A and B are shown apart, each in its own frame.
Chain A
Amino acid sequence: MSNNQNHNESLKTVPTSTDEFIKGLWRENPVFVQVLGMCPVLAVSNTAENALAMGVATAFVLLMSNILVSLLRNFIPKEVRIASYILIIATFVTITDYVIQAISVDLHKSLGAFISLIVVNCLILSRAEAFASKNTVGKSIMDALGMGIGFIIALFSLGAVREILGNGAFFGFSLFPDGFQEWVIMILPAGGFFTLAAWLLIFNLIKQKRAQS
């Protein structure tokens, strides 16, 4: 059914590769529009550095799994497709985990359990299911890059706000004089919800304004 829908859509608009790339950044931004993958968005966006690292790790897994799913799309029968996608995603998550450990012990320490949780990030699975399994490798790469960068931007904009308000710092550098009272709540989970809500509000306001004009 969804296959049909997709088919009709592509007949109407015939999106180019650039469209596939652009859509993830703004029109179908995974966090601000689709509200997907909220677990890492809320949990690991407490500092700008963590958010950036998590965003890049997720984007990498997304890109690699999209490529492989797209390559194997005619080889995987639809009955076992979800299991296959999870297997592919889990593999790249494990690889990412090793690579991060090889880059920095401290970074791995601060991302902790959330690296392994990329496996169940519904953003990645949804791109594999809704896009990569039905499109060519080239388009899948563009889609993954767009969605990945959209995810990085979203995580980073949350992380930056939370770190500035919660720690009074940006990338670990103190921004305010000694008297600054940190908003501890901003680095706690609740702060993640507040910041996400604020960004969603801003995003939707801009969208509304655009639609009106």
Chain B
Amino acid sequence: MNKQETIAPNSFKMIRAMAGIGILCGLLIVFTYEGTKPRIETLRAEALKEAIFKVIPGSTQMQPYVYQDNTFKPANKSDEDVIYAGYDDSGVFKGLAIVAAGQGYADIIRIIYGYSIDQQEVIGFYVLESKETPGLGDKIEKDPDFLDNFTDLDVSLNEDKDALKNKVTTVKSGSKVNEYEIDGITGATISSRAIEDIIASSAEKWMPIIHKNRSIFKNIDNE
């Protein structure tokens, strides 16, 4: 009994301190979040736009599309799972940019790749987010030989147009023979295979529906 009485005022002080600090800290975080949000969003959108123009060579304008009710529609800001159509200055369609993500060696890798409907090829590639090991796994971002894979990677569809003709596969560095193979990176096997998986599964998902609706992207949306 006696003991409890001496503890009681103490625990009130503790709760007061923790709750007080909790509220103060919560307020600080909310204010910073609200204060930096618009700027962070603009920066992210800018970075994404730059990446889109990078992976679709020759593009200077873009239009996001979302896949709804078996067709592609111009996307709103709030839509998720969006793909981007790239056009040059005069509004000629240059290709599509698709964001894809998957498990890498360290964490989720997010990439964006360019796709040409006419050539049925991956025409550009850029890593948006990766925490791969510096010096090894992060070669997926910089290694020129590896990046060369994605200037003309074959992702053409089979005769039924419902799946890829050849699955994208990673081969040992330097042994690439077919257009659908990715030359892997020595010392970054897991990271290069992760990129293969990300592109392969994303291509399996998007290519058939893109092919079915390919006429939609031919004209620039003037709205």
Contacts and interface: CB of A to CB of B under 8 A. Distances in A.
B21 A88 contact: yes
Interface in A100-128: 101-102, 104-106, 109, 112-113
B131 to A, nearest CB: 5
Interface stretch (A16-24, A25-33, A74-82): A74-82
Given A84-B18, A98-B40, A187-B134, A77 B10 contact: yes
Contact of B43 (A88, A90, A104): A104
B29 interface: yes
B216 interface: no
Interface centre among B22, B36, B47, B136 (most CB of A within 10 A): B36
Nearest to A101: B40
B28 interface: yes
A198 interface: no
Contacts of B17: 72, 75-77, 80, 84
A101 B43 contact: yes
A104 B135 CA distance: 22
Given A94-B29, A95-B32, A187-B134, A102 B14 contact: no
A87 B22 contact: yes
Interface in B18-68: 18, 20-22, 25, 28-29, 32-33, 36, 39-40, 43-44, 46-47
Contacts of B162: none
A113 B136 CA distance: 17
Interface residue tally of chain A, by bracket?
A: 20 to 34
Main secondary structure of the interface of B (DSSP, over half): helix
B129 interface: yes
B13 interface: yes
Nearest to A167: B135
A102 B131 contact: no
A99 interface: yes
Contacts of B18: 80, 83-84, 87
Given A72-B21, A77-B13, A77-B14, A102 B40 contact: yes
B21 A84 contact: yes
20 contacts: A72-B21, A77-B14, A79-B10, A80-B17, A84-B17, A84-B18, A84-B21, A87-B18, A88-B21, A91-B29, A94-B29, A95-B29, A99-B36, A102-B40, A105-B43, A113-B107, A187-B134, A187-B135, A188-B134, A188-B136
Interface of B: 10, 13-14, 17-18, 20-22, 25, 28-29, 32-33, 36, 39-40, 43-44, 46-47, 107, 129, 131, 133-136
